Structure 1
Amino acid sequence: MSYLDAIHAHYEELTKSEKKVADFIVSSGEKVLHQTLLDIKKATMVGDATIVRFCQKLGYSGFSDLKIDIAKEGFHHSKTTNTSFINTVENHLVSAIQETSKLADESKLEIAAALINQAKHIYIFGVGSSGITAVDMESRFLRGGLQARAITDPHYQAMNASLCTENDLIIAFSLTGKTQDIYDALSVAKENKTKIIVISNYILSPIAQLGDVVIQTAIEEYLLNGGSLTGKVSQIFAMDLLITYYEKTYGVDELNMREKIARSIINKQI
């Protein structure tokens, strides 16, 4: 039985307050996956106990258990399509670039590029799949002649953030904008007046609120497809837009820099 079927089957057994939660869940659909218990409370004006009782009446142990079931249903639907799996993968990746491109804001790229140009030190934060993107960005910067340091360990992020100054810059990756480790480190950096560029889906997310400027990505990350390639493609496209804008705006001789890098590694091939 799907979560929607469970809500329908037990709806008449719910109290008035519990029905508020049920109505909200039904109307929100998979958007619930990006919401916390606090978000549900604010939207429905009910208490924690009401939400837990609602979930238990549907047969779930709690709110997290309900979210997992919603995620499983969404994951199943995404896999059941008549389209060739090759075309499906292609469409997802192409869509990731197209949707991110629609959100590109040149005025924000201008602000972010200026922060990069003014920074004494640049650090790139990310964990999990976003941590891999942070390392990709370090490499992309290096090939353009700019040294930056990707930090993917939460402890080192916190330590480096504590030593950052107003002359430094942190670029933070988080698709959801709710990654606890990134938020904690950026909060420390913010107290030191460190400049922050956030690359994330949501401009109103907690992490985005800490940024001096937000470069938006477009691919939502659900519970069961965390670290998806489409999300990474969206991040890499946004990253490349930013670095390309920086190089063009500040006269970086990209060809010369790439030649230097190429010469340094040309003898590394067998």
Structure 2
Amino acid sequence: MKIEQIIKEKFNSLTKSEKKIANYILESPNHIIYGTMNEIKGAIQVGDATIVRFCQKLGYSGFSDFKIEMAKEDYSQKESLANDNQLFFDQAENKIIDCIQRTKRKMDIKSLKESSELLSNATAIYIFGVGLSGNTAQDLEAMFLRIGIQSKAISDNHFQMQTAALLKETDLVIGISLSGKTQDLFEALGVAKEHNAKIISITNTLVSPVAQISDIVLQTVSEEFFNGASLSGKVSQLYVCDLLVRYHEKLFEKEALSSRVEIIRAVMNKSLD
């Protein structure tokens, strides 16, 4: 049975506060799937206990169980749209194109310019990410190297914390997280902040914990709660990374071109005839 139907069937038995939650879910289901309990509490002005009781009245053990069921239902509905092979290919293509277009609309030259200035002034550059975002951190390290910027990607949280503890105010950390709520990353960036290092975050929302402690936020837009490590989430991150690298290269064209030439020459010397 769909959650929307369950809510409507039980609506009259709910308390006044629980009805506020029900209406909020019916009007903005994505806010539940991609939001936290604190965000939902702030939006409709109810307490933790009220949200938990509401979920239990619908037959779920608590908010997390309810949220997962909503995400599963949403994911299943989207996947069921691809009911033939051609539609299947089109859906995958359109999802990536839409992700890039929406990411593009979130970007602005001012943020790229300020990020480029931090890159230019940094004595050391580190890129922090965990899981999928850890892989993106390594990709960004490789992109930077191509234009002559030496950086270090770190995906292990223990090494992130140790590195952050030794940072100076002239150092730069780039933190990557789609949700902006990854605890390990947030803790490491918090230590970096305590040492006055500059922070650029690549993340979905401006109000996430990671974004809030950053000096500059470059936004991605992928919403993939139930489909972690999806291609669209990865593409959104890589698109932002590419814009950052290309903009910096544009400002420092001569130096970047020289680096590219030297790197290509070195790689060509390793090629077999």
Report TM bin, short chain. Answer: over 0.9
> d(CA) in 2 for partners of 1:256 and 1:250?
10
Q: State the partner residue of 2:53.
A: 53
1:86 matched to 2:101? The reply is no
Q: State the partner residue of 1:123.
A: 126
> d(CA) in 2 for partners of 1:246 and 1:71?
38
SS at match of 2:175: strand
> Per-residue displacement from partner, 1:191-226 (whole Å, max 9, x unpaired)?
11100111111112211111111111122222x111
Q: State the partner residue of 1:11.
A: 11
> d(CA) in 2 for partners of 1:93 and 1:38?
30
1:204 matched to 2:207? The reply is yes
> d(CA) in 1 for partners of 2:30 and 2:118?
36
1:151 matched to 2:151? The reply is no
> d(CA) in 2 for partners of 1:220 and 1:265?
37
- Asked if the contact 1:3–1:66 (Cα under 8 Å) also holds between the matched residues in 2, the reply is no
RMSD, aligned α-carbons? 1.6
1:38 partner letter? N
Relative to structure 2, which stretch is displaced further, 13-22 or 124-133? 13-22
> d(CA) in 2 for partners of 1:63 and 1:122?
39
State the identity as a percent. 48
> d(CA) in 1 for partners of 2:127 and 2:20?
42
SS at match of 2:253: coil
Q: State the partner residue of 1:227.
A: 229
Q: State the partner residue of 2:143.
A: 140
Relative to structure 2, which stretch is displaced further, 52-61 or 16-25? 16-25
Relative to structure 2, which stretch is displaced further, 121-130 or 246-255? 246-255
- Asked if the contact 1:162–1:192 (Cα under 8 Å) also holds between the matched residues in 2, the reply is yes
> Per-residue displacement from partner, 1:42-99 (whole Å, max 9, x unpaired)?
2232222221111111110110011011101110121122562111111111222221
Distance change >3 Å, CA 147–CA 204, structure 1 → 2? same
Give the superposition deviation at 1:154.
1.2
Give the superposition deviation at 1:261.
1.9
Relative to structure 2, which stretch is displaced further, 120-129 or 75-84? 75-84
Q: State the partner residue of 2:104.
A: 101
Q: State the partner residue of 1:239.
A: 241
Give the superposition deviation at 1:266.
3.3
> d(CA) in 2 for partners of 1:90 and 1:37?
33
**How many residues are paired up?**
269
- Asked if the contact 1:124–1:170 (Cα under 8 Å) also holds between the matched residues in 2, the reply is yes
1:188 maps to which of 180, 188, 191: 191
